[in-house]
């Protein structure tokens, strides 16, 4: 966790849809939580399980490098991310054309 001032500084530079290259650093419970991503900032990134494929076997593995888009950044001092690659996205939400 970073100081409130640092979070405010980092957050000012974030924009919805901004893309970062990130490395998957942790998957606490594949299929149940989500994945933690290092995007090179002083605060961590996280991809919620709801944005990932239903089958955790289709998730990127720890150590994998991929592009991620800013999805949300609130007061929790964590950047919510969405994978840029369609193969890492939930089919029902992002590939149905709706």
Number of domains in the chain: 1
Is residue 42 included in any domain, yes or no?
yes
Q: Is residue 83 part of a domain?
A: yes
Of the candidates 50, 87, 48, 45, which has an alpha carbon nearest to the alpha carbon of residue 68? Answer: 45
C-alpha dihedral sign at 77, 28, 37, 60: negative
The length of the chain is: 98
Looking at residue 33, what DSSP letter applies? S
Domain of residue 35 covers: 4-87
| pLDDT tens track for 21-80 | 999 999 888 777 899 999 999 898 999 999 999 888 899 999 999 999 999 887 788 899
Residue 15 lies inside a defined structural domain of this protein: yes
pLDDT of residue 76: 80
Backbone angles phi, psi at 62, to 5 degrees: -55, 135
Query: In terms of pLDDT, which residue wins out, 17 or 1?
Result: 17
Q: Note whether residue 98 is domain-resident.
A: no
The whole-number pLDDT of residue 88 equals: 92
Strands (E), 1-98: 19-26, 34-38, 45-48, 65-73, 79-83
CATH of the domain at 47: 2.40.50.140
């Amino acid at each position: 966790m970073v100081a409130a001032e640092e979070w405010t500084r980092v957050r000012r530079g974030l924009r919805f849809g901004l893309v970062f290259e990130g490395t998957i650093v942790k998957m606490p419970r594949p299929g149940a939580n989500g994945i933690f991503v290092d995007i090179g900032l002083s605060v961590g990134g996280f991809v919620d399980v709801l944005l990932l494929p239903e089958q955790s076997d289709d998730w990127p593995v720890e150590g994998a490098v991929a592009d991620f888009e800013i999805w949300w950044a609130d007061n929790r001092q964590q950047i919510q991310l969405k994978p840029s690659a369609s193969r890492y996205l939930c089919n029902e939400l992002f590939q149905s054309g709706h």
